[in-house]
Amino acid sequence: MACCDSITKASATGQRGLGQQPLKRMKFYYQCAICSLALNCVLTLFLNPLVNTKTFAISTRKSSYPTKEDRITYSLHRNGSYHDYFNLYYRCPGRKVFPPILETPGVFDFATQISLHGLKIIVMGDSVGVQFAQGLDEAVGTPQNSSTRHVLKNEWGTHAAIVLNDLGNGNAVATYRLLGMLGKFGENHWRPNQPGRRGYGGWLGKDVVDLFNHSSRVKAFDAMVFRIPHGWISLESITEEKLEETVALAHELFGVSSVIFVNVPFSNNIQTTSDFQKMTETNDMIRKMCQEWNEEKADKTGVKVLMTIELGKLVDDLMRESAISLGYNISNHSYWIERLTRYPSPNNPASVVHVCAERPVSPAEKCTKQNGYSLDGMHYCMPTIGGRLYADIACLLGCAYNGRMSAIFTKNTTDTALNQCAAACNWQFMSVQPVEESMYFD
């Protein structure tokens, strides 16, 4: 049991400096996973693919089979990709396959297909969150000319802001663009493409009503994936109080019983070492809050389960791989400081190691060639990272909603199987850790 306790504590350390190597942490997770009988129960019974169909009930190893209570399953398809059917504005055509880790077998060579079984998901956040929702629509099998997916509101021209994809049989995926934290202060303060005030995004009660009035079959959601819109709001605005308010209002407005926060990854908005330190501290706070969510807070907010997508760790790994390949000394923890001068804009320039596939002569306005995972230092090349992101989302939702796991707990508390399950999902998919050959569907 000591090893189980250790892995939970280790998972709380999460993302650290970009110059620190993750290898020891990864080995520690793996060693704990194989040395602890209790954790093996989680990894073996709850995080395993289904042997015959190669469809996952939750995550990473063989020997478990689905039950009728599994509300989400997924499969990894080798050499699959996403076509950006619904993502019209943030695409990465003609990019160089860089950094080289992108070509390593088992790392980014798969697409994830998801099956929902009586589960409704809403994705909320800024344009990056909308990107994630658009790819999720594709991952659940929505065809390009679908009759189930309806754009209910556009913002900033024809950028989809509120979308409902009613898949039938109790399944749905919705998109809701919000440029700050979700709170009562933002109610009826919506302003098109304007930053939130006091850290809150503006939203209209009428839009929420219209969303639920659009389909007689969708009157509430089970889970929310919330992309914290750093950039529109400052890191100082991301507080535990605002996160809890977001959780409570998500339940009040949308009926969700689970919330998954996407933590804050490196982006153009991290420009100084102080910014980087604050980002790290903010992610530590988010992770700790989720892991220590308890019955009292669940009763107070209506949300039983709180988890994180450790996107910052995946971006950390990719930037480190880029820096090594571009010839930077990664023992210098501030190697990400070097910036372009005008891309994507003079006021918000990107880090060279975050966007470039060739090291430019400094100072440079833009990359001579761009890498294969970051569009502009803010948005992502979803055909590259989508397989890992959607596997992680499905894995985490499986921790919360699949029958064998949900039978263990009703509300997550510190050091529970849920936290270990979530840590295993993030370790496998929010990193450049290769997936096992046996995990592929084909």
H or E element that contains 116: strand 110-116
With CA atoms as reference, report the closest residue to 238 among 296, 180, 159: 180
- Residue 333 domain flag: no
- Residue 121 domain flag: yes
C-alpha span between 97 and 393 (Å, rounded): 25
Q: Which residues pair with 177 in a beta bridge?
A: 125
Residue 99: is the preceding peptide bond cis (ω within 30°)? yes
- Residue 341 domain flag: no
Quick count: other Cβ atoms within 10 Å of Cβ 277?
A: 13
Mean pLDDT of the chain: 86
> Helical H runs in 302-416?
311-326, 352-355, 382-401, 403-406
Q: Radius of gyration (Cα) for the chain, nearest Å?
A: 20
For residues 306 and 22, which has the higher predicted lDDT (pLDDT)?
306
- Domain containing residue 138: 2-320+382-439
- Residue 377 domain flag: no
pLDDT level of residue 35 (50, 70, 90 thresholds): very low
**Residues 167-223 pLDDT 10s:** 999 999 999 999 999 999 999 999 888 877 899 999 999 999 999 999 999 999 999
Structure tokens belonging to residue 94: 């003609």
Q: Which residues pair with 74 in a beta bridge?
A: 56, 114
User: How many domains does the structure of the chain reveal?
Assistant: 1
- Residue 406 domain flag: yes
**Which of 58-62, 152-156, 415-419 has the highest average model confidence (pLDDT)?**
152-156
- Phi, psi dihedral angles at 131 (to 5 degrees): -55, -50
The CA-based dihedral angle spanning residues 140, 145, 147, 149, taken in that order and rounded to the nearest 10 degrees: 50
- Residue 365 domain flag: no
The pLDDT value recorded for residue 333 is 83
- Residue 129 domain flag: yes
C-alpha span between 53 and 50 (Å, rounded): 6
- Residue 344 domain flag: no
Average pLDDT over residues 92-96: 94
**Residues 190-205 pLDDT 10s:** 988 887 789 999 999 9
In angstroms, how far is CA 49 from the centroid of its own chain?
21
